[in-house]
Structure 1
Amino acid sequence: MLSFLLFFYIYIFRVSKYCIWVYLLQVMCLADLESDYVNPYDSAAEINIIVVPEFVLQGALCFLHLVMGHWLMCLACLPYLYYDVKVYTGRRHLLDVTEIFNQLPWEKKIRLYKLGYLGILLVFSIIWYGVNDECSCSMPFPSLFF
């Protein structure tokens, strides 16, 4: 049972890490576009390629918290998942090359908020694992917190 839970925690950590990496990549692309290091076509193409996998990763993260029985963490992921579904169904998830400079401050702000939100969720996931690990083990186990 412990190895099964450990597998899910490692998978949750990896999915969170990949989501954070995707947002860092998007913020860097938008910052490069803002400083005129790249043209809008390249920047929009790079960001548009990773938008749908980002949505899938966020859905997988929410589903993993649900499967693990972490209802509070799943509820914390739901507003972000709802926003992603709302943006996707409204067909506003892809960047338009002709409007990218008008949308640049808004898109950058949204990605930075999402990055902060995922960072907080990652910290809470690590804390949750440490608390569950200390409560469920009958033998002394190295703690995440000293």
Structure 2
Amino acid sequence: MSIDTSLFIFSLFDTSALLFLTVYIVITLSDLECDYLNAQQCCNKLNKWVIPEVISYGILVILLLFTNHWILFLLNAPMLAWISYKYFSIPKGNIGFYDATEVHNRGNLKQLMKFSMVRLVYHLIHFFIYLYCMIIALLTNG
């Protein structure tokens, strides 16, 4: 098995995990919106997944960079930069990316839902891109 095949298999699994995580975030935020969860429960559930998400993106982008897949690297780098920026620009005093005291202020919940939906579409598109790349890598090496 070549490096490209291994990379695309890993990318497919990584993107699948990120896709499921984003679906979980959308469901949890919609539960908060419908008052099935309170803000503290929702934010506690979601904040524990922020660091693994950033690490997952980081590993994928670094692997794409080191294996000279420039187009895929350039497609993934903006989302890593945006997620990292959002994580590292958390105001002092907030408990995390999702803060229970801020989630209902100034339409933050709608903004978080919109951002999550954008990430959902982004991961879905990338899932099929990596699936295609994996199939091509398997066919060219077989």
- Tell me which interval the TM-score lies in, with the shorter structure as reference length: 0.7 to 0.9
Measure how far apart 1:4 and its partner are.
4.3
Range with greater deviation from structure 2 (119-128 or 103-112): 119-128
| CA deviation vs aligned residue, 1:12-68 (integer Å, no higher than 9, x gap) | 111111111111111111000011111111001001111111111111121222233
Task: Give 1:71's aligned residue.
Answer: 70
Question: Do 2:18 and 2:53's aligned partners in 1 also have CA atoms closer than 8 Å?
Answer: yes
2:19 aligned residue: 20
Cα deviation, 1:103-144, whole Å, max 9, x if unaligned, reads: 11000100110111111111111112223333x33xxx5xxx
Instruction: Count residues with an aligned counterpart.
Output: 136
Task: Report what 1:45 is aligned to.
Answer: 44
In 2, distance between residues paired with 1:71 and 1:126? 17
Name 2:119's counterpart in structure 1: 114
Matches of 1:119 and 1:67, distance apart in 2: 24
Q: What is the alpha-carbon distance in structure 2 between the residues aligned to residue 133 and residue 65 of structure 1?
A: 17
User: Structure 1-normalised TM-score?
Assistant: 0.84
Find the residue that maps to 1:100 and give its secondary structure.
Answer: coil
Report the structure number with the largest CA radius of gyration. Answer: 1
> Which residue of structure 1 lines up, in the alignment, with residue 29 of structure 2?
30
Residue 35 of structure 2 aligns to a residue whose secondary structure is: coil
Residue equivalent to 1:123 = 128
Q: Distance in 2 between matches of 1:58 and 1:47?
A: 17
The answer (yes or no) to whether the contact 2:58–2:80 under 8 Å persists in 1 is yes
In 2: Cα distance, 1:65 partner to 1:25 partner: 26
Counterpart code for 2:10:
Y
The percentage of aligned residue pairs carrying the same residue is: 24
Q: Where do 5+ consecutive residues of structure 2 fail to align?
A: none
Report which stretch shifted further, 39-48 or 84-93.
84-93
Distance 1:131 1:5 in 2: 10
Letter in 2 for 1:100: V
Contact 1:12 1:64 (8 Å CA) reproduced: no
- Counterpart CA distance in 1 for 2:57 and 2:45 is 19
Cα distance in 2, alignment partners of residues 88 and 39 from structure 1: 22
